[in-house]
Every structure is written in C-alpha cells, then in structure tokens.
C-alpha cells in the first residue's frame, strides 16, 4: 500500500503540467497561479510535500477537494452506496450464473452446450460495456418499457425501486465478469474431472450432480475464487463506465468528474481507496484458500 501511495503521488506530481495553472484556467494572471500554488502547498519542496501527504494519509485524511472544498473522505462516503451496491449485485449475478454454466460446459465438454457457453463467454468480454448498456437500455426501457432508463434511488427509499434502478446496470456490468468466471470454472473443472477419484465417484453410482458439486467443484474452486478476486479490478473499471451510462452517482462518476476538472486530491483519494479495497479483497481471497484447501497453511 505504501508503494501505491508513493506511486500515485509521483504520478500526479512528477508529470509535466502545473496543476495550479490548469486549475486557474486560461485567463489567469501569474499572480493568481502563484496564489493557488501556495494555497495547495505546491510551492514547497517535493520531499516536504510527500511528507505532509503521507502524514495526512496515516491519520486517514485524504485532503480536500480543490473544486468543491469538501474533504475527499466525505465525498467518497457520499458516493459509496451506489458503487458498492452495483459491484456486489453484479458479482453475485455473475457467480450465480457463470459457475453452473462453467461446470456444465466442462462436464459436457465438446458438446453443443460447451460450445454455446464458451462462445458466449468470448463474446462477453469482447463487447464494450457501455455499448452493451445502451443495447439493454434500448431493449428493456425504451422498447419494452419495463425498467427505468437511468438514475438511482437509494436503498432507504425502498428495496423494489432500488433494485429496479440497479437491475440493468448490474446486468451490464456482470456480463464481462460472467464470461471471465465461466471460462475459469470450465478450465479448472476440466483439470479436476480427469482425476481418478472423480471416475470412482461416478463408478460407484453417485448422482452426477453430487459428484460435480461435492467432489469436483470443491477442488476446482481455488482458481475460481482467485479470478473473482483478480477480476475485481475489471469490475471497478466497468463500474466507472456503467455509472456513466446509467447516471448513477457513485465512485466511478466521482472519479471521472474529478479527472475532467483536474481535481487532484480527489483523483488521488479515489485511486488509493479503490486500490486499497482491491488489495484487501485479494488478501481475503488468500485467506479463503485455507478454508478451501486444507493443505495450505499460513
């Protein structure tokens, strides 16, 4: 995490371009620029700036937005709910559909079921997320009139409207993830299904369903869990785009707005928080290994 923090800082400060000049705009006088620079602390030596920033970080302070004047932590907290809801929903949707499909494809390897599932999976992560989003909006909202086109209602306003607004974004976002998980599940299951103990299980007459889930899926789950952790990066990237398509007031929109306004503290803050969650999630995945595979110990 320390490396990420330093890297983000270096990225934003060492690249050419003076943030103060960009913030002041095209018509600012040199005095204006100098004033803004002083207000942001950009006139101090680089090492001092790094020190101050890291010190603030350790106290959980991500700085103040240049544009709105609000603390970055407050901004992030305000925007957290839609993004968290969207990613969790998309993740659930993807896991619930993709794992069974992947298992089925591996079991009926080479059959038409396998080909259809894998064909869909390759198409799934070849499609631009926002394009897919627009297609779904067109189909479900404009054409069939079933779901709202855009916008967000918080959970506190009732579960059904909340879900109705999130259904399309979550579906849009989950398709890429679904494709990834389905492919991984199939590959992992195919490795396991060749094992002798699976043949034994089938031979002693256990129901295929039981063999697949109880015996095979359990050993095949390690790579699947890993890809769910790694795929979070993909999910967040997709969330940025999806939130823009569906006008959801989430972290993704916050970061895009911040980038368009060159609001550096917000950009830094969002990247740090998201990367932190990503690292933490992968740590959880590592710990899950112990539960899934008794041979692994830490």
Partner 1 sequence: MARPAPDSAPLDPALDAMAGDARVLPLAPARRGAAARRFLVRNPTLGAGALCLLLMAAGAVGAGLLGTRDPQAMRPVTRLRTPSAEHWFGTDHYGRDVYSRTLYGGRISLVVGSAVAVISLTLGTGIGLVSGYFRRLDAVVMRIMDGVMAIPGILLALALMALVRASLQSVIVALVIPEIPRTVRLVRASVLSLRELVMVEGARAVGAGTPRILLRYILPALVAPLIVQGTYIGASAMLVEAYLSFLGVGTPPHIPSWGNIMAEGRAYVQLAFWIILFPGLFLAVTVLAINMIGDGLRDLLKVR
Q: Which stretch in 2-10, 41-49, 106-114, 192-200 sits in contact with partner 1 by CB under 8 A?
A: 2-10
Q: In the 8-state DSSP scheme, what is residue 71?
A: B
34, 97, 130, 229: residue in contact with partner 1 (rule CB under 8 A): 130
* 103 close to 185: Cβ distance less than 8 angstroms: yes
Among 39, 54, 70, 131, binds partner 1 (CB under 8 A): 131
Per rule CB under 8 A, is residue 16 in the interface with partner 1? Answer: yes
Please, what is the minimum distance in Å from the beta carbon of residue 93 to partner 1? 20
Token pair, residue 143, equals 């054409």
Of 35, 42, 100, 134, the residue at the interface with partner 1 (CB under 8 A) is: 134
Task: Give min distance, CB of 162 to partner 1, in A.
Answer: 24
Which residues touch 242 (CB under 8 Å, ≥6 apart)? 86, 129, 130, 133, 169, 172, 173, 248, 252
* Residue 90 touches partner 1, criterion: CB under 8 A: no
CA–CA distance, 143 with 294 (Å, rounded to integer): 52
Instruction: State yes or no: residue 74 binds partner 1 (CB under 8 A).
Output: no
Residues in the chain: 298
* Inter-residue contact 173 to 179 (CB < 8 Å): no
* 140 touches partner 1 by CB under 8 A: no
Minimum distance between the CB of residue 295 and partner 1, rounded to whole angstroms?
Answer: 22
What are the beta bridge partners of residue 64? Answer: 71
Among 228, 248, 274, 285, binds partner 1 (CB under 8 A): 274
Can you state the percent helix, strand and coil of the chain, rounding each to 5? Answer: 75, 0, 20
Q: Is the dihedral of CA 263, 268, 274, 275 positive or negative?
A: positive
6: contact with partner 1 by CB under 8 A = yes
Q: Rule CB under 8 A: which residues touch partner 1?
A: 1, 3-4, 6-8, 11-12, 15-17, 122-123, 125-131, 134-135, 137-138, 142, 232-234, 236-238, 240-241, 244-245, 255-256, 258-260, 262, 267, 270-271, 274-275, 278-279
């Amino acid at each position: 995490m320390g490396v990420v923090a330093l890297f983000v800082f270096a990225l934003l400060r060492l690249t050419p371009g003076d943030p103060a000049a960009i913030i002041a705009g095209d018509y600012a006088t040199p005095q204006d620029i100098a004033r803004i620079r002083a207000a942001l602390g950009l006139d101090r030596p680089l090492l001092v700036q790094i020190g101050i920033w890291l010190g603030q970080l350790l106290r959980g302070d991500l700085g103040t937005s240049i544009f709105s004047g609000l603390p970055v932590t407050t901004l992030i907290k305000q925007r957290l709910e839609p993004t968290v809801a969207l990613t969790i929903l998309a993740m659930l949707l993807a896991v619930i559909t993709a794992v069974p499909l992947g298992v089925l494809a591996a079991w009926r390897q080479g059959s038409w079921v396998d080909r259809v599932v894998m064909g869909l999976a390759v198409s799934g992560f070849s499609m631009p997320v926002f394009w897919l989003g627009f297609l779904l909006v067109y189909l479900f909202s404009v054409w069939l009139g079933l779901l709202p086109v855009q916008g967000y209602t918080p959970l506190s306003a009732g579960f059904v409207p909340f879900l109705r607004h999130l259904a399309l974004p979550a579906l849009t976002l989950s398709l890429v993830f679904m494709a990834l998980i389905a492919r991984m599940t199939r590959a992992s299951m195919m490795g396991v299904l060749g094992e002798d103990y699976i043949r034994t299980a089938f031979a002693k007459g256990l129901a295929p369903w039981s063999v697949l889930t109880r015996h095979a899926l359990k050993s095949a789950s390690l790579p699947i869990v890993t890809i769910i952790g790694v795929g979070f990066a993909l999910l967040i990237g997709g969330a940025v785009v999806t939130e823009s398509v569906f006008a959801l007031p989430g972290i993704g929109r916050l970061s895009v707005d911040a980038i368009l306004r060159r609001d550096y503290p917000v950009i830094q803050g969002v990247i740090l928080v998201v990367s932190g969650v990503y690292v933490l999630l992968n740590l959880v995945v590592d710990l899950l290994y112990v539960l899934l595979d008794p041979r692994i110990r830490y």
